[in-house]
Chains A and B, each alone.
Chain A
């Protein structure tokens, strides 16, 4: 199975909003609400920021929100801050107790 498709890069100025898409198929994103997003700084452990499409774990800023339409999930980061820079990965259940990650999106705060 192929990785989920994310844009390689995204950017925005401080205070702006940016949306990152994650496209799969009806066998993964389209067929399940088991979609999560992770924020990753190279050299560190990834951090869970969204689970089950739109839920935020305790302690994660309200500026992060998730949604899904058809085979595409989206992560929106509002009120961009310098600390939001880094790599963002989506992941989805793909049936048969396996998971797929997206290729990752590098977010730059201008």
Chain B
């Protein structure tokens, strides 16, 4: 069965970096996109960006450009999201999700979420 398993909770200081991983299983990793979505405390879902394991191509929401990097390692079917220059309002649960493309928001399987807490 399709599964996306994310890394555990993380704590970072303002200005630091955090790396969240998302290991896929049960399907051909390179055939689907990986999207990242977050939910800050008390807030709604926010789309962050996508990465194509097949091409390595990425696309980010404008607010994250310049401080977020998405990569994949197809040898171990794992996607990574690295965020730099952390701010307190980056505290959120971060989800990875399997997507069919970069232009249709069909996210059919999701990871369990990773809580990232930014605190001094």
Contact = CB atoms under 8 A, between A and B. Distances in A.
Nearest to A100: B47
22 contacts: A1-B62, A3-B46, A36-B106, A38-B45, A38-B107, A43-B113, A45-B97, A45-B111, A45-B112, A46-B37, A48-B107, A52-B104, A92-B105, A93-B105, A97-B50, A98-B47, A98-B62, A99-B35, A99-B105, A101-B47, A103-B44, A104-B44
Interface string B13-39: 000000000000000000000010100
Contacts of B2: none
Interface residues of B, number: 23
Q: Is the interface of A mostly helix, strand, loop or mixed?
A: strand
A101 to B, nearest CB: 5
B11 interface: no
